[in-house]
A and B are shown apart, each in its own frame.
Chain A
Amino acid sequence: MFDPVDDVIERIARHLRRPVHIDPALDGRVMREITELPTPGGATALGKAWRWLRRPHQVTLTPLGGLAAAAGLALVVLLSRMDPTAPAASRAESRAFQFVLVAPRATHISLVGDFNDWDATRTPMHRTGSEALWTAVVPLEPGRYHYAFFVDGSRWLADPSAPLARDEDYGAPSSVLTVGGGGS
């Protein structure tokens, strides 16, 4: 039998069941919060190493929403220490920033930005620690830098949890990182 009540309710339910897309930047916000928290359930050597890596940091995360079928995150980690490979002249002011990308399905990732003339060959990221983690360390002097991730030779990925660059000179979205001159 046709039941008009059920028909209306089913129409409503069907409408409400449609997929909802939440801003993938939420992933970054969650990860930024939890990196400051102790590991749930105890610690292992890997956990200790990972926490050591990130302890003194300010962290921003990026979900790899645009990466086909991949879930991922990026974080920019301030290491708060001098980069030993930096030229002597710039050591007094530059600090090392570690960019960490969690990219489960990527096969090659480069960090590109104002600091390397957007040259995808100059700062390749390397897998470390966790299976999905890619990292690159870049010494940066105080200033304002645009940057992005170049994934698998074809995808440009901005960091949605960082300020998005407005002047997209390069035709692709990028993020902005501001390095202060003080101790922060």
Chain B
Amino acid sequence: MGIHSVGTSDAALVRRVQTGDTGAYAGLVARYRDRLGRYALHMLGNREDAEEVLQDAFVRAYRSLARCDDPERFGAWLYGILVNRCRTAGARAARRARRFVHDPTALETAPLAGPDGRTEWDDTVRWALARLPSESREAFLLKHVEELEYEDMARLTGAGISALKMRVKRAREQLQAMLKEAERV
């Protein structure tokens, strides 16, 4: 008997869910909501999309919980699901954006929204992050924000370690260049 405690391990909660205690899943959702939400928010650049993807990831994880081979690593497993959902949502958003532009020339020549008038560091960072290619943004966030090791990143993304290192390097260079550009405006 007793109640959920903050110290209840992921594995214990996962096993309780697997044996029919659906309510125990609430503990896992509460535990990972903000951290995974941060990744989704930075990856998608939009809170509404991020929350939708996050909810979807939690529900998909629940559906597949029987396939979570190592309940101790539930967090990493859940992370993998979220990374995939963000990729899908990002691709969908890109297609949606393209559908609203019918003039390819105008699209190519249109200036990107720049940091003009944005004096806040937060705006500048988000502006620069959004301009990174999605693969580079994903690699940068996992490495420098979520502070994962390359081995873990490789497991989550399915990409090779060399490719991931290259993506992170490019992201760093691009961010550096964009920040310089922003400072000049």
A binds B: yes
> CB within 8 Å of B: which residues of A?
5, 8-9, 12-13, 15-17, 19-24, 26-27, 29-31, 33-35, 37, 39-48, 50-51, 54, 61, 63, 69-73, 102-106, 129-133
Digitize B170-182: 1 where CB-to-A-CB distance is under 8 Å, 0 elsewhere: 0011011001000
What 9 A-B pairs come out closest when comparing CB atoms? A47-B20, A71-B30, A104-B4, A22-B37, A40-B65, A41-B18, A20-B38, A41-B66, A13-B144
Return chain A residues, CB-CB under 8 Å to B3.
Answer: 103-106, 131-132
Q: Is the CB of B23 within 8 A of A30?
A: no
Separation of A47 and B23 alpha carbons in the complex (Å): 10
Q: Does any Cβ of A come within 8 Å of B59's Cβ? A: yes
B68 CB to nearest chain A CB (Å):
8
Q: Is the CB of B172 within 8 A of A50?
A: no
Q: B176 touches which one: A9, A26, A46 (CB < 8 A)?
A: A9
Q: A5 touches which one: B22, B145, B176 (CB < 8 A)?
A: B176
Separation of A39 and B21 alpha carbons in the complex (Å): 8
Q: A26 touches which one: B1, B22, B33 (CB < 8 A)?
A: B33
Q: Is the CB of B145 within 8 A of A47?
A: no
On whether A22 and B63 interact (CB within 8 A), knowing A9-B144, A41-B19, the answer reads no
Q: Is the CB of B55 within 8 A of A48?
A: no
A109 CB to nearest chain B CB (Å):
12
Question: Which B residues from 47 to 69 make CB contacts under 8 A with A?
Answer: 50-51, 54-55, 58-59, 62-66
Digitize B19-48: 1 where CB-to-A-CB distance is under 8 Å, 0 elsewhere: 111111111011101100110011000000
Return chain A residues, CB-CB under 8 Å to B128.
Answer: 12
Given contacts A16-B144, A20-B41, A22-B50, 6 further A-B contacts (CB under 8 A): A26-B33, A30-B62, A46-B21, A129-B23, A130-B21, A132-B3
On whether A69 and B6 interact (CB within 8 A), knowing A22-B37, A24-B33, the answer reads yes
Q: Is the CB of B145 within 8 A of A40?
A: no
Q: Does any Cβ of A come within 8 Å of B2's Cβ? A: yes
Q: Does any Cβ of A come within 8 Å of B129's Cβ? A: yes
Q: Is the CB of B19 within 8 A of A22?
A: no
Q: Could you pull out 14 A-B pairs where Cβ atoms are within 8 angstroms? A: A16-B125, A16-B145, A22-B54, A26-B29, A26-B58, A30-B59, A31-B22, A33-B55, A46-B21, A51-B22, A71-B30, A72-B4, A72-B26, A129-B23
Q: Is the CB of A44 within 8 A of B20?
A: yes
Q: Count of chain B residues with Cβ under 8 Å from any Cβ of A?
A: 51
Closest chain A residue to B15 by CB distance?
Answer: A41
Q: Is the CB of A31 within 8 A of B29?
A: yes
Separation of A22 and B41 alpha carbons in the complex (Å): 9
Q: B22 touches which one: A16, A23, A24, A39 (CB < 8 A)?
A: A39
Separation of A50 and B22 alpha carbons in the complex (Å): 8
Q: Is the CB of B22 within 8 A of A19?
A: no
Q: Is the CB of A63 within 8 A of B30?
A: yes
On whether A71 and B38 interact (CB within 8 A), knowing A37-B63, A46-B19, A132-B4, the answer reads no
Q: Is the CB of A16 within 8 A of B42?
A: yes
Q: B65 touches which one: A24, A41, A47, A51 (CB < 8 A)?
A: A41
